[in-house]
Amino acid sequence: MSGVRLLVGTRKGAFVLTSDGTRQSWQVDGPHFAGWEIYHLKGSPADPQRLYASQSSGWFGQLMQRSDDGGKTWAPVGHDFRYDGEAGTHLWYDGTLRPWEFTRIWHLEPSLDDPGTVYAGAQDAALFRSTDSGQTWQEMVGLRGHPTAPSWQPGAGGLCLHTIIIGPDDPSRMFVAISAAGVFRSADAGETWRPANHGLSSEGVLPDPDADVGHCVHRIALHPSRPDVLFMQKHWDVMRSDDAGNSWQDVGEGLPSDFGFCIDVHAHEPETVYVVPITSDSLHYPPEGKLRVYRSRTGGHEWEPLTSGLPQQNCYVNVYRDAMTVDSLDPCGIYFGTTGGQVYASADAGDNWAAAVRDLPAVLSVEAQTLP
């Protein structure tokens, strides 16, 4: 019988949750790397037993772990992340220039077809790649070499590259998103990059609200069957692009707040999109203390609240950008983790929810693997 494995990164370790295909009962294994911040862990689409985990700490810096048995055992791999050549400078919060400084890996994106190749998104923003299963890492210099890079400025969470999408039909097409620089697209497998932010507007945040770069994009997502259609949760605004990021339209009307962090797409319905509205940039909790997932079945044109099984009073958690995911079973399962340590699971595309686990450390990321 098929099953689902959830890879949960938290402020104090990693957890692996497993269930059979009913997704009603979850076995919790962990913490792995107890006490360490696990910003993200993700499995290889080509070999689901191959997992990569970003392990970091304010005390001891960045490490990287790999599992070849689906998370039962782990071994450290290479963690020497260094910028290629002169690091250069970028804008700091106060408008001064500051040298690029490596802090941590926010996001890991294994290749779609090679378990030994994995991309890593860094703070300060840079894209790294390993082609030897994580033993060594090389910066893909074209991104940070973009002429706009010295003008990139951190968002409140730092200048972080947090989203990496590999084209499902064409691996030479890639997207990355950086807070607070925006979306960049590559047509040559990451060698060169162009901003893809036309149509984004950051009123009150940028002196030029329609600038080519500088937007605080929180997350982008796409459905594999329609690689030109992108959805975005920006700092404020939920956006959609029908032309692979050449232009964006606002589709946030009808939401109680269009501020938020995560966004994802149903595994079988390319026009069904999920967000978790958050009150504002200064109030990082759900409006009215009600934890609601909003679903659009029309690609963002209408939204409906999903509340069954979710707390509808006195809830003041946040849901981070990497903390929502879907499985590929039918009906589609959808999951998200909160800063309060709950991982909520729905086995019916969001109609009903239950906590797969409660009281973990603050959840930073959730990834689902659908197992045969």
Partner 1 sequence: MSSPVRVRLPAQLRILAGVGPEVQVEVSGPVTQRAVIGALEEHYPVLLGTIRDRDTAKRRPFIRFFAGEADLSNEAPDALLPDAVASGTDVFVVVGAMAGG
Smallest distance, partner 1 to C-beta of residue 79, A: 6
Output 76 or 85, the one with its CB closest to partner 1. Answer: 76
Q: Which stretch binds partner 1 (CB under 8 A): 72-80, 141-149, 205-213, 249-257?
A: 72-80
Among 58, 204, 207, 372, binds partner 1 (CB under 8 A): 58
Q: With contacts defined by CB under 8 A, how many residues of the chain interact with partner 1?
A: 13
Confirm or reject binding of residue 57 to partner 1 (CB under 8 A).
yes
Figure out which of the listed residues 24, 76, 135, 249 binds partner 1, where binding follows CB under 8 A. Answer: 76
CB 18 within 8 Å of CB 3 = yes
Nearer to partner 1, 11 or 297 (CB): 11
**Gyration radius of the chain over CA positions:** 19
d(Cα 126, Cα 120) in Å, to the nearest integer? 8
Asked if 59 interacts with partner 1 (CB under 8 A), we say yes
82 binds partner 1 (CB under 8 A): yes
The angle subtended at Cα 266 by Cα 355 and Cα 237, nearest 5°, is: 90
From residue 65, alpha-carbon distances to 30, 170, 175, 341 in Å are 15, 28, 24, 23
How big is the CA angle at 341 (ends 335 and 346), to the nearest 5 degrees? 20
| Residues whose CB is less than 8 angstroms from the CB of residue 357 and which lie 6 or more positions away in sequence, other chains included | 8, 15, 17, 26, 28, 342, 343
* Binding of partner 1 by 301 (CB under 8 A): no
- The smaller minimum CB distance to partner 1, of residues 104 and 266, is found at 104
Look up residue 292 and give its two tokens. Answer: 């609601």
C-alpha 331 chain-centroid distance? 23
The answer to whether residue 99 forms part of the interface with partner 1 (CB under 8 A) is no
- Between 92 and 253, name the residue whose CB sits nearer to partner 1: 92
Spatial separation of the C-alpha atoms in residues 66 and 37, rounded to whole Å: 15
Of residues 59 and 372, the one with the C-beta less far from partner 1: 59
Nearer to partner 1, 30 or 245 (CB): 30
Cβ of residue 10: shortest distance to partner 1, in angstroms? 15
Query: Which of 3, 20, 46, 79 is close enough to bind partner 1 by CB under 8 A?
Result: 79
Q: Give just the sign of the alpha carbon dihedral 43, 47, 50, 54.
A: negative
Is 86 one of the binding residues for partner 1 (CB under 8 A)? Answer: no
Cα gap 204→163, rounded to integer Å: 24
- Of the candidate spans 74-82, 154-162, 303-311, 323-331, the one that interacts with partner 1 by CB under 8 A turns out to be 74-82
Q: How many CA atoms lie within 13 A of 163 on its CB side?
A: 34
Asked whether position 63 contacts partner 1 by CB under 8 A, the answer is yes
Q: How far is the CB of 30 from partner 1 (least distance, A)?
A: 14
Q: From its phi and psi, is residue 30 left (phi > 0), alpha (psi between -120 and 50) or beta?
A: left
Beta bridge partners of 7: 16, 367
Which tokens is 102 given?
């490596």
Of 34 and 97, the one with the shorter C-beta distance to partner 1 is 34
Binding of partner 1 at residue 282 (CB under 8 A)? no
Q: Shortest Cβ distance from residue 146 to partner 1 (Å)?
A: 25
Look up residue 204 and give its DSSP letter: T
Stretch that binds partner 1, among 79-87, 144-152, 225-233, 284-292 (CB under 8 A): 79-87
* Whole-number Cα distances in Å, 188 to 43, 121, 176: 24, 18, 13
In angstroms, what is the minimal distance from the CB of 76 to partner 1?
Answer: 5
Our finding on whether 123 is near partner 1 (CB under 8 A) is no
Q: Is residue 60 at the binding interface for partner 1, with CB under 8 A as the rule?
A: yes
Site membership for partner 1, residue 61 (CB under 8 A):
yes
Q: Cα angle at 44 between 43 and 45, to 5 degrees? A: 115
Q: Is 80 in the site for partner 1 (CB under 8 A)?
A: yes
Residue 39 CB, shortest distance to partner 1, in Å, is: 16
Residue 61 vs 224, nearer CB to partner 1: 61
Q: Residues in the site for partner 1, rule: CB under 8 A?
A: 35-36, 57-63, 76, 79-80, 82
